[in-house]
């Protein structure tokens, strides 16, 4: 078995592998997965990667699925790291890159997490999977549950982008639209899951979506020839991608593949919903729930993230920061990125560009830094924002 144990990210309570878990039974915080990295290193080598499939399962030894037949894949991962030369020229930067997650199945980075989480749910005997979602996680769960032959129960805000709703319906999921926010959807899942026999697949409320998301960190290191960038800008709602990449960097160092150097990690949020930005500025260890969250970037409209304490710790340990941008700025950035680089970015990913401009203006990022912006999804999911 790849996994040695699981542990609580807050109280360090340990759990044995091979069972379905949600949050820590002692303190209610997220669980983290641990591997026998010494054993993994006997077959997971740089040389071996050259012969492996171009998806996230190339890192199989540091992923939790034990039996090959339980891997549910639609070809997720190994997305391109594109040198944004024209955009870089406009900013006076030679080393600007975009990691384009829109090329994943279901057109967002959420496919990574759901591929691994659904595979583990299947392996561990779950049959009915439920998730609250702002949109893209719902589409990913619907697709991977369909592929696995499992039932998907999805709760989304009523104003979710129509593309996400259609995606779930066409993949056979049972969809409930909720008058409220993703937090209201989450409460409905929590209230009904025991009676309905659902396994809760919420962000960081089960331990394996994080393992899929961490592969962005493995790929980033591999695509940059094992030298991490100076700065990573990441659009943050629930924050699993940011937390996952940081976990990947730790594992990579323990495998002996990278040095102790880490990127300065930057959380990017919308001004109308910026709990991590506010908590970081206040020096707080956890974020307060935003009372009136609003932004056109549905994936950033998360008023309270269960893993906020992990994100804030990562930002501070890395020497990074948290930045918020206006909806007007992130929408303008969609067109700016598209015109310069040919990438039709989702509003969440586009938000990284005005955030970068802020950091350059205040001296937090040098024009000589190697900077990676994450585009977490496709603008095609948001065509309603550009209707005439």
**Residue 295 has what pLDDT?**
95
288 occurs within a structural domain:
yes
Which residue is associated with the tokens 């870089």?
88
250 occurs within a structural domain:
yes
Which residue is associated with the tokens 């049959």?
127
269 occurs within a structural domain:
yes
Q: Is the pLDDT of residue 253 over 80?
A: yes
356 occurs within a structural domain:
yes
What is the extent of the structural domain holding 336?
81-105+212-386
Domain of 244, CATH number, reads 3.40.50.1100
Average pLDDT, the chain: 96
Half-sphere exposure of 177 (CA within 13 A, CB side): 10
DSSP code of residue 108: B
What percentage of residues in the chain have a pLDDT greater than 70?
A: 99
pTM to 2 decimals? 0.95
| Helices 136-148, 162-170: crossing angle, 10 deg rounding | 10
- What average pLDDT does this structure show over 203-221? 97
Those residues with Cβ within 8 angstroms of residue 15's Cβ, 6 or more apart along the chain or in another chain:
5, 6, 7, 8, 21, 31
Domain tally, the chain: 1
177 occurs within a structural domain:
no
Q: Is the pLDDT of residue 74 over 80?
A: yes
Tokens found for residue 375: 């585009």
Tens of pLDDT, residues 269-311: 999 999 999 999 999 999 999 999 999 999 999 999 999 999 9
70 occurs within a structural domain:
no
| Helices 327-341, 352-361: crossing angle, 10 deg rounding | 100
325 occurs within a structural domain:
yes
Q: Is the pLDDT of residue 1 over 70?
A: no
Provide the pairing of β-strand 81-83 with 96-100.
antiparallel
Half-sphere exposure of 280 (CA within 13 A, CB side): 24
Tens of pLDDT, residues 317-333: 999 999 999 999 999 99
Beta bridge partners of 322: 267
Q: Is the pLDDT of residue 38 over 60?
A: yes
Residue 17, helix vs strand vs coil: coil
User: What would you report as the CA-atom Rg of the chain, rounded to the nearest whole angstrom?
Assistant: 19
**Residue 236 has what pLDDT?**
95
Q: Is the pLDDT of residue 388 over 60?
A: no
Residue 16, helix vs strand vs coil: coil
384 pLDDT tier (thresholds 50, 70, 90): confident
Q: Is the pLDDT of residue 80 over 80?
A: yes
318 occurs within a structural domain:
yes
What is the rounded distance in angstroms from the CA atom of residue 207 to the CA atom of residue 212?
A: 10
């Amino acid at each position: 078995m790849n996994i040695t144990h699981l542990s609580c990210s807050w109280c360090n309570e340990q759990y044995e592998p091979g069972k379905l878990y949600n949050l820590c039974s002692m303190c209610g915080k997220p669980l983290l997965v641990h591997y026998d990295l010494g054993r993994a290193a006997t077959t997971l080598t740089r040389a071996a990667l050259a012969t492996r499939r171009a998806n996230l399962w190339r890192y199989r030894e540091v992923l939790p699925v034990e039996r090959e037949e339980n891997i549910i894949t639609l070809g997720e991962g190994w997305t391109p790291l594109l040198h944004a030369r024209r955009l870089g020229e406009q900013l006076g930067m030679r080393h600007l890159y975009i990691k384009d997650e829109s090329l994943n199945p279901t057109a967002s980075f959420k496919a990574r997490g759901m591929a691994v989480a659904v595979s583990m749910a299947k392996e561990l005997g779950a049959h009915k999977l439920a998730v609250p979602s702002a949109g893209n996680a719902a589409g990913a769960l619907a697709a991977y549950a369909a592929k696995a032959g499992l039932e998907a129960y999805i709760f989304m805000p009523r104003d979710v982008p129509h593309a996400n709703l259609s995606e779930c319906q066409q993949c056979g999921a049972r969809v409930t639209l909720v008058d409220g926010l993703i937090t209201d959807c989450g409460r409905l899942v929590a209230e009904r899951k025991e009676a309905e026999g659902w396994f809760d697949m919420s962000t960081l409320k089960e331990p394996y979506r994080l393992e899929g998301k961490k592969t962005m960190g493995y790929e980033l290191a591999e695509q940059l020839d094992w030298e991490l960038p100076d700065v990573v800008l990441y659009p943050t709602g629930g924050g699993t991608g940011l937390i996952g990449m940081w976990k990947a960097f730790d594992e990579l160092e323990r495998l002996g593949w990278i040095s102790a150097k880490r990127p300065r990690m930057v959380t990017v949020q919308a001004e109308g919903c910026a709990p991590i930005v506010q908590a970081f500025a206040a020096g707080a260890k956890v974020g307060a729930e935003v009372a009136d969250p609003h932004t056109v970037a549905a994936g950033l409209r998360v008023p309270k993230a269960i893993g906020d304490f992990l994100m804030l710790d990562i930002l501070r340990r890395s020497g990074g920061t948290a930045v918020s941008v206006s909806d007007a700025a992130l929408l303008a950035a969609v067109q700016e990125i598209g015109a310069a680089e040919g990438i039709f970015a989702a509003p969440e990913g586009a938000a990284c560009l005005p955030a970068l401009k802020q950091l350059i203006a205040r001296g937090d990022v040098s024009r000589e830094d190697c900077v990676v912006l994450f585009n977490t999804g496709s603008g095609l999911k948001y065509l309603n924002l550009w209707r005439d």
